[in-house]
């Protein structure tokens, strides 16, 4: 069950999304990352203003929060998104390992305004040779050398 503080964090993500629409700097998406009841990072969609297709609000917020925490993980954090995360953002959220993610609009709501990620979900479920984007493996044996070195390395930081 949500509480007033969680609702306030979600309202901030929503406020950021509305502000971003008004500013014309990107899509209608905002994100807030919270740790111990305090906001540690906020972000909006910056795709068009930075010419970066990965600059979704969640990704930008994760980068900011990790920098603030000096960590590559968001242990003990919660992410509040104005919209259900797309496949890219969801993947990044899982890698960041927060405690929870909350969202306002659904992916179906996003599809209704032409932010439809359903084709990506479908592409992930089919074999490489059936995908619309040619996805071809090359030089696997050579590429394996980096993995072998990683396995043997005593300098690596597991994540």
- Catalytic (active-site) positions: 58
* Cβ atoms of 84 and 112 closer than 8 Å: no
Coarse DSSP helix, strand, coil percentages of the chain, rounded to the nearest 5 percent: 50, 15, 35
How many C-alpha atoms does 62 have within 13 Å on its Cβ side? 24
* Cβ atoms of 53 and 47 closer than 8 Å: yes
**Whole-number Cα distances in Å, 151 to 72, 137, 147:** 20, 22, 6
In 3D, which of 137, 136, 132, 109 has the Cα closest to residue 119?
132
Which value, to the nearest 10 degrees, does the dihedral of the CA atoms of residues 7, 12, 15, 21 take? -120
Strand 100-105 with 77-83, pairing: parallel
């Amino acid at each position: 069950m949500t509480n007033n503080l969680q609702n306030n964090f979600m309202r901030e993500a929503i406020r950021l999304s509305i502000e971003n629409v008004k500013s014309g700097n990107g899509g209608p998406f905002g994100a807030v990352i919270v740790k111990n009841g305090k906001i540690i990072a906020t972000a909006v969609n910056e795709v068009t203003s930075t010419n970066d297709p990965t600059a979704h609000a969640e990704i930008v917020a994760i980068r900011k929060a990790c920098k603030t925490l000096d960590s590559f993980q968001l242990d003990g954090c919660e992410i509040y998104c104005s919209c259900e995360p797309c496949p890219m953002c969801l993947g990044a959220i899982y890698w960041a390992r927060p405690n929870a993610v909350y969202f306002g609009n659904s992916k179906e709501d996003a599809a209704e305004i032409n932010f439809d990620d359903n084709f990506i979900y479908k592409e992930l479920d089919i074999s490489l040779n059936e995908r619309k984007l040619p996805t071809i493996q090359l030089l696997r044996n050579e590429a394996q050398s980096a993995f072998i070195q990683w396995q043997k390395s005593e300098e690596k930081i597991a994540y």
